[in-house]
Amino acid sequence: MVTAEAVAATVTDPELPMLTLADLGVLRSVSEEDGRVVVAITPTYTGCPAMDTMRDDLEHALVSAGYPDVEIRTQLTPAWSSDWISSAGRQKLAAAGIAPPGAAPLRSGPIPLTLSAPVSRVSCPLCGSPDTEEQSRFGATACKALRRCRSCLEPFEHVKEI
């Protein structure tokens, strides 16, 4: 029988189906307590509407694999960071045309206000050019921004650093 952890690790994200929840860093732990499988997940964004689907998908996968007693717990601390996306996850994102995030900003003291777009460190996932610009900090899902490549002129999505 496949371990519960291995089963949970195969479940993919509903919005970024090329990534597993483990790649994304949303899957925090899988443990067994008295025959019950306890899975802890952390939301990427507070209002992420995909959380319920993630729960259902995890439960369905585990029940189908022979673990009838499953409990999915929300774990709020520590808050999810884009730094938790695994290196395999980053490669999968880039292969799907989505630029992976850079390092999340470190916080200490009052957060400075950014009045201009930060210097771009995001390369185009399609042609590799480093010459890209931010078009909107908010994209089709809470976790992505919209960018455009100045070399190949293609628009692309970028997972935001948080």
Partner 1 sequence: MSFDNVYESLTEENDARWAFGTGFEDPLSGVDTSVPSGVDGAALAAYCLMLGDDALVFSHRLQEWCTNAPELEDEVAIANIALDLLGQARLLLARAGKADGSDRSEDSFAFQRAENEFRNVRLAELGGGHFGHLIARLFVFSTWRLALLQRLVSSVDPVLAAIADKGVKEVTYHRDYAAQWLVRLGDGTPLSHERMQEGLDAVWPYVGELFRTHPLELVDAASLRPEFDAVLDQALAAATLVLPTAGELAGVSGRTGRDGVHTESFGFLLAELQSVARAMPDAKW
Q: State the residues that interact with partner 1 by CB under 8 A.
A: 14, 40, 43, 45-53, 55-56, 71-80, 107, 110-111, 113-117, 135-140, 142, 146, 160, 162
Bridge partners, residue 132, by sequence: 149
Which of 71, 95 has the CB closer to partner 1? 71
In the complex, least distance from residue 148 CB atom to partner 1, rounded to whole angstroms: 11
Closest distance between partner 1 and the C-beta of residue 86, in Å?
20
Burial class of residue 11 (count of CB atoms within 10 Å of its CB; 0-12, 13-18, 19+): buried
What is the enclosing helix (H) or strand (E) of 53? helix 51-64
Rg (CA), the chain: 18
What's the closest the beta carbon of residue 137 comes to partner 1, in angstroms? Answer: 6
Smaller CB distance to partner 1: residue 1 or 47?
Answer: 47
Q: Please answer whether residues 30 and 37 qualify as being in contact, where contact means their C-beta atoms are separated by less than 8 angstroms.
A: yes
| Nearer Cβ to partner 1 (137/150) | 137
